[in-house]
Amino acid sequence: MNQSAQANRSYVRRLVVTAVLSALSAALMYLEFSVPVVPSFLKYDFSDLPALIAAFGVGPLAGVAVELIKNLIHLPMTATGGVGELANFIIGVCYVLPAGLIYRFRKGKSGALLGALGGAVLASVMSLPVNYWITYPVYTKFLPMDAIIGAYSAIIPAANTLWRALLMVNLPFTLVKGLVNVGFTFALYKHISPLLHGRACTASDPDSKKNKKGRRCRPDGDSNGVQ
């Protein structure tokens, strides 16, 4: 296979993988659920998981694309005038972009772990200004601020202002969500890596090359996955 055809095949594969992960992310965004230990309006979903996988398997910009596409798909059903989707996109990008960038320059499990943990921390920190200046000013048009603060202080009495509520509840909630996605990513990635990279490792393939573990993988593969 000449280099041009191989490059075209790789480009198409990356587009297809990004599209599939975007659709999966959008579907997971609709499967949100409440967590008993936080106010009911804080929902948990796994929609960032496909975006993180895309950032590792395809590239950091693919992770950003998944975050964008899932929120655009969700936009027609929004109840927040698009503000919730904007906040979700910003925080999601803060999560997957640094993870993908760090992994790009530091391949292997340690780089992936460092990137994912760094992304989780950055996303949780950025959730403070995003929610304080973007999300909740809009939410107060539907729910009084006193009711919002009351929902937080019912769980943690000291969370009696919006800033304290975000610091004591939203920040750790976002951090835990990111860490859970890191765990699932590491559990799933090595199993789906051949699909992401368009390769099939076999014991004997005349048109293949060996990866680090001695298996033989097709030339368009990437053996530097999150193992």
Model pTM?
0.86
- Alpha-carbon distance of 70 to 115, in angstroms, equals 22
Whole-angstrom CA distances from 181 to 113, 130, 189 are 11, 21, 11
pLDDT confidence tier of residue 34, bands split at 50, 70 and 90? very high
Q: What pLDDT, on the 0 to 100 scale, is given for residue 225?
A: 52
pLDDT confidence tier of residue 223, bands split at 50, 70 and 90? very low
- Alpha-carbon distance of 131 to 79, in angstroms, equals 16
pLDDT for 89-141, tens place per residue?
A: 999 999 999 999 999 999 999 999 999 999 999 999 999 999 999 999 998 98
Instruction: Give all domains of the chain, ordered by start, each with its CATH number.
Output: 3-199 (1.10.1760.20)
Other Cβ atoms less than 10 A from the Cβ of 205: the count is 15
212: left (phi over 0), alpha (psi -120 to 50) or beta: alpha
Q: What pLDDT, on the 0 to 100 scale, is given for residue 222?
A: 47
- Alpha-carbon distance of 86 to 108, in angstroms, equals 32
- Alpha-carbon distance of 42 to 23, in angstroms, equals 23
